[in-house]
Amino acid sequence: MQKKQIWVLHGPNLNRLGLREPEIYGSTTLEQINQSLTTRGQFQGFDIQCHQSNHEGALIDLIHRAPDAQVAGFVINPAAFTHTSVALRDALAAVALPFVEIHISNVYRREPFRHQSYFSDLALAVICGFGPNGYNLALDHLMAQLQPAS
Ligand code: DQA
């Protein structure tokens, strides 16, 4: 049987993780996060594909491709697009696949403009403030939701 596929989507500036504001985002790189997610997914029989883009349209195009690619759901850190992008929200609504929203930092302890998300009311769950480990928590939750009951 074919493995269920999960796409992990990282928004703008997350390619700079490890170097970018380490006091907020820590020292773990995106590559380390992706590696950990891929291994974790494989262990549970899922195929994990990770994508990062600094471009809103590129992320939207990817999301549109997901149903044809037989994707079962997303873990997404929309980064700054969280607070700005109706277009990315609409793309997720259009494909209607389950997703977990994750933020490395606790956005509610930060500037007021970070308290608004265009995604949270569509998300299965929202994880924020757990640092890079939040990605593992997000993936575990999504896999549990996608796993057929035994
Ligand atoms: C972030 C929080 C956003 O406010 C910010 O723009 C990011 C990263 C996080 O993971 O904590 O780029 O999504």
Distance 1 CA to ligand 1 centre (A): 37
How does strand 71-77 pair with strand 99-103? parallel
Q: Is 90 exceeded by the pLDDT of residue 111?
A: yes
From 10, 25, 118, 135, the catalytic residue:
25
At 85 the pLDDT is: 98
Residue nearest ligand 1's atom 9 by CA = 103
pLDDT, tens only, 28-51: 999 999 999 999 999 999 999 999
CA distance 15 to 28: 11
Q: How many CB atoms lie within 10 A of CB 59?
A: 26
Indicate if 25 belongs to the active site. yes
pLDDT, tens only, 135-146: 999 999 999 999
pLDDT, tens only, 112-124: 999 999 999 999 9
H or E element at residue 7: strand 4-10
At 148 the pLDDT is: 60
pTM assigned to the model: 0.96
